[in-house]
Structure 1
Amino acid sequence: MKVKSVIVTGGSRGYGSGIAEAFVNAGHHVWITGRDLTSLESAAHRIGAEAFVADATDSVGWDRLIDSVLSTTGRLDVLVNNAGEGVRIAPVSEQSDDDMHRSVSSNLIGAMLGSRRAAAIMQEQGDGLIVNIGSVCSKHAWGGWSVYSAAKAGLLMFTRCLLTEMRPHGVRVTSILPSWGQTEFTDSANLPSRGADVEALCISPDDLGRLVVHISELPPHLVAEEITLWPMVQPISQL
């Protein structure tokens, strides 16, 4: 089995931690990033990954991370752009300018910065996989979610276009659009609790981790362009 060099942003908790752990368990060399050194090192120690303190929206941090990976393994096989945050889920009239800038930067610009660097490396290699973790909010409309949804919709279209650019070079690009999850997103975005019984039936970090690893193991002549993942307990509605 080929050991792959894998970067997972936002890897200290939630979906990122689950994705990183799944790649480690599959025998790959994994770097996880995050802004908080303590939680990042704790997660890295628990799952057997390498911790690298970096903000996904910081260009200098990206350059340092890429240099570290390439100096260690000489290549980058998988980039999972998972970092993102709800920032503030509320009507537009209640958002601040800073809230909106932060949401777009965290949920869109960070992934674009990482993808730019990964694309150049993978194009030269002639293979590789970029996975952007988006949201069902990129295709469905709910009140209070406009700013976050706009950022994730931008990420979805960015990913689609990047795939068309990278396919001729043997590089695959995938969007995964999860919905309700067993993560800290609900608390960090100040959303009401769904209740323990419902929460237990939502998407777990392990669920998403297994899915991303499966995508990475597809034959190189196949690409999963876009996968939307719903918990069966979640109502589906939109405008």
Structure 2
Amino acid sequence: MTKLLSNKTAIVTGGSNGYGYGIAKKLKEAGANVWITGRSIEKLKTAASELNINYKRADVTSPEDWDELVKAIIEKHGQLDILINNAGGGIAIADITAQSDLDIKSSVELNLLGAIYGSKRAADLMVKQKSGTIINISSICSTQAWPGFSIYAAAKAGLEQFSRSLYVDLRPHSVRAMCITPSWGNTSFNEATGLQGFDEEVAKKAIQPDDMGKVVVDACLLPDHLIIPELTIMPMVQEIIPY
């Protein structure tokens, strides 16, 4: 791959596995200085070693962790060009009556507030640079409804609306805000949420981490005067039957 992002510095949250790993991998192949974050230092070390990239343990729900992350990147590279808000999780996939208040709070913090905290800090730098790209990774759950996904879906729907508003706020400053909404992916999310009917053959035809990486890189490589505000990605194998 041509190193078209060789002068860019990127953050990928939740970058030690799944979509985040694939995104970090493809950004690195495109030449970017890539930093991955996550809560597990051991997973981060392993992924960073495999991909030959930077890592820093950081919880996206912690504003203080965001401040420390951005400070470390600016001290080393002097700029931040790409932020991929990928970190997320189901927390508790269950009927609303079976979820604790802590489950609800944790899901909203991880799937929505974390991206808002990161976008605020990245936007502050990018507006001054008059350049930059923020990509929020949503979920098809934001537009569909399945049993047990109410809180996760609500948080992701909030992320999509936040992305639209962020686009409006940042466009005058030549900073791009996009939202990519994937559906079935071959990641650990399926096992963690107990997704039914997702066998090995289906997994092969679902969205792969490298697929997401290619999509993100292509979005980052758009001419500076162009943007794809919203993009939904579906595997052909999936039939949407909500409710």
| TM-score relative to the length of structure 1 | 0.98
Per-residue deviation, residues 14-44 of structure 1 (Å, max 9, x unmatched): 0000000000011110000011111100000
Q: Tell me the number of residue pairs that the alignment of Structure 1 and Structure 2 aligns.
A: 239
Stretches of structure 2 lacking an aligned partner (at least 5 in a row): none
Equivalent residue, structure 2, for 1:73: 77
- The CA distance in 1 between the partners of 2:7 and 2:217, in whole Å, is 13
Per-residue deviation, residues 184-203 of structure 1 (Å, max 9, x unmatched): 00122233351100111000
| TM-score relative to the length of structure 2 | 0.96
Residues 81-92 of structure 1 correspond to what in structure 2 (within 5 A)? 81-92=85-96
Equivalent residue, structure 2, for 1:110: 114
1:133 to 120, 134, 137: 137
Identity %: 46
Residues 1-239 of structure 1 correspond to what in structure 2 (within 5 A)? 1=4, 2-192=6-196, 194-238=198-242
Q: Which moved more, 1:190-199 or 1:42-51?
A: 190-199
- The CA distance in 2 between the partners of 1:217 and 1:10, in whole Å, is 22
- The CA distance in 2 between the partners of 1:152 and 1:146, in whole Å, is 10
Deviation of the 1:238 alpha carbon:
3.6
Q: Residue 21 of structure 1 contacts residue 48 of structure 1 at CA under 8 Å; is this kept in 2?
A: no
Secondary structure of the residue aligned to 1:69 is helix
Kindly provide the amino acid, as one letter, of the partner of residue 213 in structure 1. V
- The CA distance in 2 between the partners of 1:159 and 1:200, in whole Å, is 30
Stretches of structure 1 lacking an aligned partner (at least 5 in a row): none
